[in-house]
Amino acid sequence: MTVEEYLTEIFKVYSLVSVLSDKNDCRVLKLKNKKYDKYIVLRQFSKPLSAYEELYSIKCENLPLIYDVINLDDGQIVLEEFIEGLTIDEVMETGKYRYMGTRRVLRSVCQALTVLHNRGIVHRDVKPENIVIGKDGRVVLIDFNAARKISAANRDTTIMGTVGYASPEQLGVAQSDARTDIYAVGVLLNVMVTGKHPSEKLAKGKAGRIVRKCTSVNPDERYKSVEKLASAL
């Protein structure tokens, strides 16, 4: 079955609400079940991603539920839970976060990353747009399009992630690992507290110290694990 055929099947039951993102190799749609009035996120990839298959088997408060991963002849379709809420990016349009609020959000992010790292997955795209605060207060890390399994390869072959949040090694300097996400969490912390990238304005006090450690150019100088970062927060 091709992607086209599968989508035709799906649209018999679901109606398209909006296109969340549309890039060359990835399209994200928000669909609504015509009968049950429930929302679902459909991700369409031109190449299969192993991270979603890995995530399918787990259920975690800080990660979206993956309903199904369908490998088709010309690509992959992922059906994912839609989380009703606002992204950090949208929340920050109204103002900056206080350190206490930031800490709460980032601890949840760290928990999500712990689950991923324990399964050998690096998210590689931790940023305000990819963290959703649910209506029920649930903090969920979404979008595993850039995620990859940690491998023994010497360096990242393709440049993935978002400039500013991507660590030096992610941009081809060295191999990505758990510390890549720690770098991004550090930047995220600074952005949430100050509204600016650490290179522009570093957060003051404890937050600043954590950011500086997270964003060390040398991965060895960063926190050794997300758990360590979470306890530092």
Partner 1 sequence: MKKCPKCRAEIQENARFCLYCMTSFEEKQEIKTKKENNKRWLIFVAAVLVFVVIIFSVFAIALNNKTGNSSNTTDYSPVISSENDCVASNGDKMSSQQNKENNKTESNKETLFTSTSSTKGSSLDNNSNVNTTSINTTDDEKSNVTSPKSGEVSKNSSKGSATSDNKTNNTDFDASLTTSTASLSSTPTQTVAVSYIYRDAKYGDDFSVGANLENSVVITGVKTASANGEYIIPDTLGGKKVIAVMGLAFCDEKISKTVKKVVVPSSVKNIWDNAFASCYNLTDIYFCGNSIYTEVNAFAEKSKRNGTLIIHCSANCSDRNYRYYKNSASNYGAKYEEWNG
What is the distance between the alpha carbons of residues 176 and 155, in angstroms, rounded to a whole number?
7
Applying CB under 8 A, does 108 fall inside the site for partner 1? yes
Applying CB under 8 A, does 57 fall inside the site for partner 1? yes
Choice between 62 and 167, CB closer to partner 1 = 62
Which positions from 30 to 49 touch partner 1 by CB under 8 A, shown as an x/- string? ---x-xx-x-x---------
Residue carrying structure tokens 């787990």: 58
Residues 90, 73 contacting (CB under 8 angstroms): no
Helix (H) or strand (E) holding 5: helix 3-13
Partners of residue 18 on adjacent β-strands: 30
- For residue 202, the Cα-to-chain-centroid distance in whole angstroms is 23
Choice between 106 and 191, CB closer to partner 1 = 106
Choice between 102 and 194, CB closer to partner 1 = 102
Applying CB under 8 A, does 7 fall inside the site for partner 1? no
Which positions from 210 to 229 touch partner 1 by CB under 8 A, shown as an x/- string? --------------------
Applying CB under 8 A, does 126 fall inside the site for partner 1? no
Least Å distance between CB 81 and partner 1? Answer: 10
Applying CB under 8 A, does 141 fall inside the site for partner 1? no
Partners of residue 162 on adjacent β-strands: none
What is the distance between the alpha carbons of residues 104 and 121, in angstroms, rounded to a whole number?
23
Buried b / exposed e over 42-55, threshold 16 CB at 10 Å, is bbbbeeebebbebb
Applying CB under 8 A, does 173 fall inside the site for partner 1? no
- CA dihedral defined by 210, 215, 148, 38, rounded to 10 degrees? 50
Which positions from 67 to 96 touch partner 1 by CB under 8 A, shown as an x/- string? xx-x--------x-----------------
Choice between 104 and 201, CB closer to partner 1 = 104
Out of 62, 87, 130, 215, point to the residue binding partner 1 (CB under 8 A).
62
Least Å distance between CB 114 and partner 1? Answer: 9
Angle between helices 205-214 and 178-194 (to 10 degrees): 150
Half-sphere exposure in the Cβ direction for 172 (13 Å, CA): 4
Applying CB under 8 A, does 18 fall inside the site for partner 1? no
Q: Is 220 a known active-site residue?
A: no
